[in-house]
Amino acid sequence: MRDKALSVQNLCAGYHGSEALQDVCFSVNRGDYLGICGPNGSGKSTLIKVILGLITPTSGEVNLLGTPKSNFHRWDRIGYLPQGLQFFNPHFPATVDEVIRLGRLSAKKFPRRFSREDTVAVERTMEWMGISHIRGSMIGELSGGLRQRVLLARALVNDPELLILDEPTTALDPETRESFYKLTFEMNRERKSTVLLVTHDTATIGKYASHLLYLDKKVIFYGDFDDFCNSSEMTGFFGEHGQHLVCHRH
């Protein structure tokens, strides 16, 4: 279990009596990059929210970084970029520096005061993400691509062991999307973070992810990309064209 970043066992969850996840089981090794795909309403965001403890499952277990979720308190070891966070009010009263600094709060006990170490971590992350020059800009006034980079920086500022991104590229143009994917790939390869990325971008994810989880309330496929691409069962499920679309750059 120690080498697992995440383990999900027999997970069921839903809303007002209707099931969004049915008996979901999979586990992710440390250092993997997992793409999570599936049609609209297939339970991807619900899965992420259960993993993070934002929704209580009806049954099943989640282990995070080798610890049962009920005993897991080190949220600073996990970076999370929620879906839709990029849509800021242009008048949102916070600078880039302040938004990234907020990411340091999860590691603090009360009274929560920022230290010299926090400033160093924020500076280092801004430099790495190439956004030091906009540290004083208001977050709501940035372009979509820069804003998403700042929010990724906030998720990364504690050097997380597990990075969870829920549809982070939805509002980005193709070029900005590609550079965003490259940053997550660097994070995975160079900083050895395990990455979980929810996306509808099946044509691109195969270029970066090592593993694929395809959900439709249940697990339709879980495994590494080569297995997905060589699976005749998946050809039967997606059709040759659908499978090729996911696999063509892999």
Of the two residues 130 and 242, which places its CB atom closer to ligand ATP in the complex? Answer: 242
Residue nearer to ligand ATP on the CB measure, 170 or 176: 170
Taking the least distance from each CB to ligand ATP, the nearer of 41 and 236 is: 41
Note the residues at the interface with ligand ATP (CB under 6 A): 15, 20, 38, 40-46
Helix or strand (DSSP H, E) at 190: helix 174-190
Q: What is the identity of the amino acid at 190?
A: E
Long-range CB contacts for residues 22-29, cutoff 8 Å, separation at least 24: 22/217, 22/218, 23/60, 23/218, 24/60, 24/215, 24/218, 24/219, 25/219, 26/213, 26/219, 26/222, 27/63, 28/4, 28/194, 28/196, 28/211, 29/3, 29/4, 29/5, 29/194
Q: Rounded to the nearest whole angstrom, what is the least distance from the CB of residue 39 to ligand ATP in the complex?
A: 7
Quote the least distance from Cβ 85 to ligand ATP, whole Å.
14
How many Cβ atoms are within 10 Å of 250's Cβ, its own excluded? Answer: 15
Kindly tell me which of 45 and 158 has the beta carbon lying closer to ligand ATP: 45
109 DSSP assignment: P
Q: Residue 13 Cβ, how far from ligand ATP at the closest point, in Å?
A: 9
- Given the complex with ligand ATP, which of 15 and 110 has the nearer CB atom? 15
